[in-house]
Structure formats: C-alpha cells, structure tokens
Structure 1
Amino acid sequence: MSAEQEHITPLATAAVDHPTSDEKDPSITTPTPPSSRRRRRRRCLICCGSCTALVVVIAIVLVIITVTVYKVKEPVMTMNSVSIKNLNLSLGSSLNINMTVVADVSVKNPNAAFFRFGESTTALYYRAREVGVAYGPPGTAGARKTFRINVTIDVMADRLLSDPSVIGDLAAGKLDVTTSTKVGGRAKIFLIIKRHVDVMMNCSMTMAVSNQSILAQSCNQRVWL
C-alpha cells in the first residue's frame, strides 16, 4: 500500500435526524380515546334531557295554573235599574205614544284575567213583539272588576200601537215588557290563551204608566263559554 493511500481519510457519513421519543410528528393525528367520546356523548344527552325536562315542567305548571287560578268563570250580568223617560200619551184623531226606556246593566268579571267585551245589544219587547233596540259601546272589565253598560231605548210607537192589547194595558195603568241584553267578550290568559264568552240576560218587568216606575222585575241569565 502506498503512502498516499494511507493518508486518505474516508468521508463521514451524513447524519440522519430521527425524531426522538419526546418529539411528535405533526403529520400524525392521535386518535381520540373512546372513553373521551363517551363522556362527551353523555354530557350532550344529560344537557338535552335537562332542557326537555324543564320545558315539560313549565308546560305542566302553566296547565295547572290555567285550570285552577286562571280557570274561566262565568261573568255575572245584573240589571241595576230600568226607568221610563219621556212617556207621553196623546189622544187626537188617533192614539200616539212616545216613550224612552233607560237600562243600567253591569257585567261582573270574576276571573283573574281581564275580559274585553264587544258591542252590547239590548232589545225591548211588548208581548213578544220587538218595539225598540239599543246598542252599548264595547269595553274592558279588569280582573275581578265590573263593567257598566248604560243604554237608552227609544220605543217605536208604530210597533207598540200595532198590538191591540196595548190600549187595554194603558187603560189599566201598566205595561208588561221584556228586555233582552246580550254581550260577547273574550278573555286572554298569559296574553296567549283566548276564551270567548257570550252572556245574555232576559228581564220581565211591569211598568206603571202613571208614575213611570217599575212595579215588578224578574231576570235570568245564560252564559256560553
């Protein structure tokens, strides 16, 4: 072997970097352990179940309150007074009569929710013949409050005098008449639940012709919920 060959030093092998056990290759995704997925699924189920249970409880509470505290009760209609105004009889070539009937009606709302009433209708009958009708304005009766209705009925003389019995009743000094008052309303509970109510009151009364007073009166009411 020559001297030149003895002094040749072999090239060092290029060092190759290999990741140590403490370093992770970013291209490799570590799979999520099954136990972690089960925990997340369990938490989702618990959250959904809690929300559903809360909604059910709220719905049950609302139903209980609606059928107990806010149960719709029948309004009570009362005829406070009826009076005759401007009664005028004239005997000329024929009998003429002018008469106005004033009715004071109240509707009591016994409910914990307010009632909104529409226009009321009050009709006056003589021997089953309608001789006058009047309309009252709409209004609102608050919770456990009373709504007043005042109506003035102008009697239609031609209809009244068309009945032959009226002359004998006037001569006897009294008239038997009937009033019928009807009003419809709607109750709102929690501003969502609506309940329609119709109230009708019929009153039979005997009117004195001489002093324009009410001699006898009897009333009854009907309610449609």
Structure 2
Amino acid sequence: MADQESQSWPLAPMRVHQRSDEENPAFKALRKERTNKCFVYIFAGIVILGAILLIFALIVLRSKSPEIKLKSVTVKSLDYSTSPWPSLNATLIATVAIKNPNFGPYRFGSNNSAVFLYGGGKLGEQRIRQGKATAKATKRVNVTVEIRTSRLPQGSNNLGGDLSSGMVNLSSYCKFTGRVHLIKIFENRKTAEMNCAMTLVLKTKMIKNLRCD
C-alpha cells in the first residue's frame, strides 16, 4: 500500500487561458480601423457642411443693388406757347420699375424722387412713396410729375426753337436708396440710379425715343 501511495502520477498539462482584459490582435486592429473611418467620416461631413455654408453665403446672403428703369412716360396734359415768351406746362405719369435680384425683399422709403430736366435745368420733381420689391421680383411704381418751364433760368436754353420744331428733348433722373433684408437677420443698404432721355412730341402729346442707362 505504501508503494502505491508513494507512486507519483504525471500532472495534466496546464491550459493557458487568455486574460479577459487582453484584446485579440485581430479585434484590436478592426477597432482601430473603424475608429479611423469614423474620424474620416466626421472630417468629410465638416468639409461638406462648410462648403454648403459657403455656397449659401455667396449666393443667398450676398446682396446686390436693384435695377431701376423708366418703363414708360404718359402725357396726361400738355399746354405750351411760343409767345409772348416760350413756355411749356405738362403733367407726366412715369412708370418706374424696381427689379430686385436678391433672395430677400428690398424696402425703400419716401426719400426717393423722380426728376425731369430740360437742358440740365430742373422742370419738375416728385417724391416716390415708400414701398417694397419682393425677392426676385419687379415692383412697378407710377409717379405723377408736374413740369413747368417757368422754373428754368431765363435765356439759358433754346426752348423757343424746340417748341417751334414741335419736339422737346427731356431727360429724367432717379436715385433709389433702400435696404435689402435677408432671412430677417441681415440688412444691407443698397442704392441704384437711373438716367433716361426722351423726346416729347407736342402735336401727338406722346413720348418717343425713351432710352435709359
């Protein structure tokens, strides 16, 4: 019995178990790859968002001056004489178009006016009432102007000769000042000018050869 008890038996080989806090190299590499991809996606998203904001700022938030044009002039009344001295009195109805190229409305006050001139001298002026040209639209405004040659300096023009010829060359000037409102946050002051030339035909009481710069 003693021999059997003292007999030693070979021990079974120990199994080496990987510690739970040690990662598998393959899994570690996969996780690193996913982390790198995540950073790449985030960076790409930031770049795309920045590009979108830049395009938005350049296209939408960039304000431009409106375009002002005299579309037509109608003679409502006309009275002229060559003796005893040349004189011309008329009532003109001018249709002014304000084209707004912006993505926000263009608001203008009542400090704007339309002026009619002859030979560089002012015949008449009329203020334009305040209004608004909506985004990407054209606003038309009718302005009634009383013109009087009695307002001109005497002897400084050839009014008598023009009245005798039946045609009087006139010019018109208009300067608009207003503000462009963008997404109810941004507000930019914009000014536009208009210079036009035309011919008043006395016999037909009509305006012809209307052209604007």
Give the alignment's TM-score, normalised by structure 1: 0.66
2:58 aligns with one of 55, 67, 77: 67
Q: Which amino acid aligns with 1:102?
A: I
Pair 1:148-2:128 in alignment: no
5 Å-filtered alignment, 1:1-225, equals 62-90=53-81, 93-119=84-110, 120-160=112-152, 162=154, 163-220=156-213
Structure 1 stretch displaced more, 67-76 or 173-182: 67-76
With over 3 angstroms needed to count, the CA separation of the structure-2 counterparts of 1:110 and 1:91, relative to structure 1, is closer
Q: CA deviation at 1:70?
A: 3.1
Q: Which amino acid aligns with 1:137?
A: R
Runs of 5+ unmatched residues, structure 1: 1-56, 221-225
Distance 1:181 1:98 in 2: 21
Distance 2:120 2:165 in 1: 20
Q: Which amino acid aligns with 2:134?
A: G
> What's the % identity of the aligned pairs?
29
Distance 1:210 1:179 in 2: 21
Q: CA deviation at 1:209?
A: 0.9
Q: Which amino acid aligns with 2:150?
A: D
Q: CA deviation at 1:98?
A: 2.0
**Bigger Rg, which one:** 1
Q: CA deviation at 1:90?
A: 4.3
With over 3 angstroms needed to count, the CA separation of the structure-2 counterparts of 1:164 and 1:106, relative to structure 1, is closer
With over 3 angstroms needed to count, the CA separation of the structure-2 counterparts of 1:203 and 1:91, relative to structure 1, is closer
Q: CA deviation at 1:66?
A: 2.1
Aligned to 2:136, the other structure's residue is in SS state coil
Q: Which residue of 1 aligns with 2:39?
A: none
With over 3 angstroms needed to count, the CA separation of the structure-2 counterparts of 1:87 and 1:188, relative to structure 1, is same
Q: CA deviation at 1:123?
A: 0.6
Distance 1:160 1:195 in 2: 38
Give the alignment's TM-score, normalised by structure 2: 0.69
Distance 2:152 2:164 in 1: 15
Runs of 5+ unmatched residues, structure 2: 1-47
Distance 2:182 2:57 in 1: 8
Quote the RMSD (CA, aligned, Å). Answer: 2.6
With over 3 angstroms needed to count, the CA separation of the structure-2 counterparts of 1:137 and 1:104, relative to structure 1, is same
Contact 1:160 1:166 in 2 (8 A): no
Aligned to 2:65, the other structure's residue is in SS state coil
More relative contact order, 1 or 2 (CA 8 Å, 6+ apart): 2
Aligned pair count reads 167
Cα deviation 1:111-130 (Å, max 9, x = unaligned): 11111112221111100011
Distance 1:138 1:219 in 2: 23
Q: CA deviation at 1:91?
A: 6.0
Aligned to 1:169, the other structure's residue is in SS state helix
